[in-house]
Structure 1
């Protein structure tokens, strides 16, 4: 039928624009899901992104998919229309992604429930069982710097490390202070007990961003730049605090 042919040709010539996929990792209180779509981007990072999108009236241009941190990098590399947060900006990643919005710089600290534990260098970490978020830059850096000679318990949810610490299954937990405080608040309110955590050492400072696949279609990249602006030129923001001696 002529009209069917016309519709088919129209679809071929003017294909529907695919939505930009926001890949988010649940990491309260910095980022967590409170509802579906852009409206559900909550926490400090989520609200920054959602506010910019809403201000530009572009909510319908996006879909939001929540994934574990462990799968995040592979999913971002696979999805040509994907953007991801929070993503740590490092020199080795600088030219592999589009950096869209700076979310903030945060310290990762080493925590313990034992006030007697002392850490003088990264090599001292080999003595302990350490909890980190699976797939995070913290896990990658620890394995890289210590040549894999480190006992790591990688959890799919960072707040699970707090319970591991309380139960004696790990000796140290490396995380951001905001994440630690949120985990304490949630768990202690459930159990009715309060555990004192000690900050042993600041390990590293990380720069968190909203980042996009390098193969983002040009129209999507232009749209994202209009929404989030053009970020300032990258400078060294991921800094190692502890020495390797």
Structure 2
């Protein structure tokens, strides 16, 4: 049976809005004031509408967002990568997007984005608290330069504080596009593919989590997810 907004609203009548935390990660999530909300923000909005859930979305630095969602009842976070060390911190509500992680380096740099296995002594800039840290350490990188935002990651690279950047492909492409500097950088092929989720606080029960997963399956089946992704060049 379809999980329409009417049936979801009945289940949530009288409940407080779901506090959802996130960060500015264009084109996946765009801060208030941007022309578009971002592909995953639109997808999460569609999920909430399908379930009759009222979202209260708050933007904050990513590391803080991870902490808030793990410690605050009736809260959620997106887009968060599902890692073994995070498994018990959250209740995993819905898979949203396939992430592709790549290296980026300035042209003229001695960092070879096509042979990253030989670059493990280099300094790598990344978003603080993000899944990239665990992936990089698994790949043998130890000199990690963490930044509080995507803009700061880019500044660290330009300032010579890092030799390369490691991040999600769509986010890197949009960051370069917004600055008009695509021709100044080399981009590697994906070295790791993961899934970004909407994850909830542990007080959200399995029955409720199953409703979120079923609603997500509906959005995939009826083409809503693909339509949203196509608008952002992600499909």
What is the aligned-residue RMSD (CA, Å)? 3.2
Shift of 1:145: 5.7
Shift of 1:177: 2.0
Give the Cα separation in 2 of the matches to 1:139 and 1:175. 10
Match of 2:58 in 1: 65
Give the Cα separation in 1 of the matches to 2:79 and 2:199. 8
5+ long unaligned stretches in structure 2: 1-13, 220-235
Give the Cα separation in 2 of the matches to 1:41 and 1:103. 18
Give the direction of change, closer, same or farther, for the CA distance of 1:213–1:229 in structure 2 (3 Å limit). Answer: farther
Give the Cα separation in 2 of the matches to 1:19 and 1:163. 36
- The correspondence for 2:143, drawn from 140, 151, 157, is 151
Shift of 1:21: 1.0
1:29 is paired with a residue whose SS is coil
Shift of 1:142: 2.7
1:108 is paired with a residue whose SS is strand
Give the direction of change, closer, same or farther, for the CA distance of 1:160–1:96 in structure 2 (3 Å limit). Answer: closer
2:95 paired with 1:107:
no
Match of 1:12 in 2: none
2:175 is paired with a residue whose SS is helix
Give CA-to-partner distance per residue, 1:120-162, whole Å, 9 cap, x none. 4646322x1211001101123334664xx72221111123222
Give the Cα separation in 2 of the matches to 1:32 and 1:186. 13
Give the direction of change, closer, same or farther, for the CA distance of 1:26–1:19 in structure 2 (3 Å limit). Answer: same
Match of 1:213 in 2: 201
2:177 paired with 1:185:
yes
Aligned 8 A contact 1:110 1:174 in 2? yes
Aligned 8 A contact 1:111 1:201 in 2? no
TM-score normalised according to structure 1 size? 0.70
TM-score normalised according to structure 2 size? 0.72
> Aligned ranges for residues 48-63 of structure 1 at < 5 Å?
48-56=43-51, 58=52, 61-63=54-56
Give the Cα separation in 2 of the matches to 1:205 and 1:177. 10
Give the Cα separation in 2 of the matches to 1:150 and 1:218. 37
Shift of 1:94: 3.8
Give CA-to-partner distance per residue, 1:102-130, whole Å, 9 cap, x none. 1111211011113543364646322x121
Match of 1:162 in 2: 154
Q: Which runs of 4+ in 1 moved over 6 A?
A: none
Match of 1:134 in 2: 128
Give the length in aligned residue pairs. 204
